[in-house]
Amino acid sequence: MGKIDEVKEILNTLRIATSISFGILILTVTGLIKRFDDGIVDMLFWAGIVFSISVVIVIFKLFTKISDKTKQIGDL
């Protein structure tokens, strides 16, 4: 397998990981909003907030890796 094919495969994997991360974030935020509307602000709610922030950080890291791999393809 050529170097460009390897980089493209990694790029596709990163894109899939980004899509899955967005899905997880949407589900988590939806659950948090429902708990907040029901007036249930407990430890699970705050753990969900921390988890959501963590997922956003992961998404930003994935974006930077996607950007790096895209630039790497341009250099090949």
Model confidence at 14, in pLDDT bands (50, 70, 90)? very high
| Cβ atoms within 10 Å of 25's Cβ, excluding its own | 18
Report pLDDT for 4: 87
Beta-carbon neighbour count of residue 19 at 10 Å?
Answer: 11
Residue 8 to residue 42: CA distance in whole angstroms? 44
Q: Which pLDDT value is given to residue 31?
A: 97
pTM of the full structure: 0.88
Calpha distance 59→64 (Å, rounded)? 9
**Residue range 17-63, pLDDT digits in tens:** 999 999 999 999 999 999 999 999 999 999 999 999 999 999 999 99
